[in-house]
A and B are shown apart, each in its own frame.
Chain A
């Protein structure tokens, strides 16, 4: 990396970087927005299970289609992700197994299946199979223009739904019974929210990967909550933090010096950026940060 490369990156002259930035930026933004509702409804770990369950879905789709066609792999991931979410609900509802245990069971079973299948597929002869394991940790750099456009399109659709149904989602997350008493179909709204989480998660797999995707759904809203006590600003801020992390992580992966030619992996850098924002928010967050809280207590003690 020299100054000329840096200049090209900042001025967005490099089309590859532009593509990846479009993908990771919109992904971060929408994950932050949807993640805010998922976190408030305590569905963060369900999102984790959905992400892990996507891996066998990708493998099955690959076996059926026989190639790394992006759209069909994502469809496979979505089907298996939804299956995992349904399995958790079923286990919890039909037995006395608690939700955390149900999530653990589902993550383990689906991810185990995924690892086993991808291992066998990698070792089998022939075919264009390279890069299936890229979904485990994500491989944003290999994103092509069509991939990024697909991600951006899907994210725009998800964002539109959230904007239109903001009031309904707010009511669902805060007081489901009261919502149902007014006649809102809370079960269907809940399923819709889960579907949005699934779609978001699956859209993020190529860039961030199965293992870290949940971080992009949970860290931005957790950080945003520390700054505000109202839902609207929190959702907005969460989206901004997610989007900024996506952009910053991608830029860092292109700019940071690394041995060899591969450079730093993008997905983990995105998550680390979000985590840094969280740490700063934890300390400085206006509504619930450690330092403002401490100052407030001290002021009261002084006057008392």
Chain B
């Protein structure tokens, strides 16, 4: 690991593609969860991965990170295998993936974002603490720094995870449902942070479940239901027929999708 961390310190100059997925298949217990995913995710954009529960969204993020072994196909990040560019990647896991009863406070958790840069044996120093405090400030959680993490609301916990990813000072961010359990005001503030990242040239990929906000938040979208349904700019790809294919036959979700499209007609014009 120390190898990858030292080598990949710099941002790839002029990289236009952040992630290249080539015929990616993933199976758990011999059951396929991802089938033939084949897409190029552009650098410097806000990208949503959208699809029904069990559609393999989290699995796709985890296979990009190398946390899940792919059965076939290949994945490259900025043209390299992920193990060579780990320092360029920040990660926000699902909130449910950790024990919030764990004896750490907010500042401790954000500081963990620095661990990857530190490498073996080295302890976080003053500079790391300063960066962590800055990131905590960016998500508006400074006054909670010494709170035990279990004493936070769901939305505050998500902001702490976002701050931890910011502390990684990455080029590419992968976020698994960062808006789950977040109230509207917090979501708006978090989206502002994501836009700031994007405007600074970073790539942000978000597993997203709220169809209504896809067009407002994102530039690019990957529709996924085990198979890749469509991938491309939101304006071109986020259509009712593609959504039907993605959510096929699920009535309530279909209604939601239809409503999302109708809502979006007003500010954005009809998506094609």
Contacts and interface: CB of A to CB of B under 8 A. Distances in A.
B104 A174 contact: yes
Select the residue from B5, B83, B116 with max chain A CB neighbours within 10 A. Answer: B116
Contacts of B144: none
Contacts of A185: 1
Given A174-B98, A177-B67, A231 B103 contact: yes
Given A167-B115, A181-B91, A225-B103, 18 more contacts: A40-B99, A164-B121, A165-B121, A167-B124, A168-B115, A168-B120, A171-B115, A174-B99, A174-B104, A174-B109, A175-B97, A175-B112, A179-B115, A181-B65, A183-B1, A183-B4, A230-B104, A230-B108
Interface in A223-240: 225, 228-231, 234
20 contacts: A165-B121, A167-B115, A171-B112, A174-B99, A174-B104, A175-B97, A175-B112, A177-B62, A177-B67, A178-B93, A178-B164, A180-B67, A181-B174, A182-B115, A182-B116, A183-B4, A183-B86, A230-B103, A230-B148, A287-B148
A167 B65 contact: no
A230 B67 contact: no
A294 to B, nearest CB: 18
Interface residues of B, number: 34
A229 B148 contact: yes
B118 interface: yes
Interface of B: 1, 4-5, 62, 65-67, 83, 86-87, 89, 91, 93, 97-99, 102-105, 108-109, 112, 115-116, 118, 120-121, 123-124, 148, 164, 168, 174
A40 B103 contact: yes
A22 B174 CA distance: 51
A168 to B, nearest CB: 7
Contacts of B65: 180-181
B105 A181 contact: no
Select the residue from B109, B112, B120 with max chain A CB neighbours within 10 A. Answer: B112
A178 B108 contact: no
Nearest to A36: B103
A184 interface: yes
Nearest to A224: B103
A129 B5 CA distance: 55
B112 A174 contact: yes
B219 to A, nearest CB: 24
Contacts of B148: 229-230, 287
Select the residue from A164, A174, A179, A230 with max chain B CB neighbours within 10 A. Answer: A174
A39 to B, nearest CB: 10
A225 to B, nearest CB: 6
A202 B13 CA distance: 54
A48 to B, nearest CB: 21
A211 interface: no
A164 B62 CA distance: 29
A165 B120 CA distance: 8
A175 B98 contact: yes
Given A171-B115, A178-B91, A231 B67 contact: no
Given A167-B118, A168-B120, A228-B103, A181 B89 contact: yes
Contacts of A180: 65-67
Contacts of A164: 121
A159 to B, nearest CB: 16
Contact of A229 (B103, B109, B112): B103
Contacts of A231: 102-104, 108
A297 to B, nearest CB: 15
Contacts of B89: 181
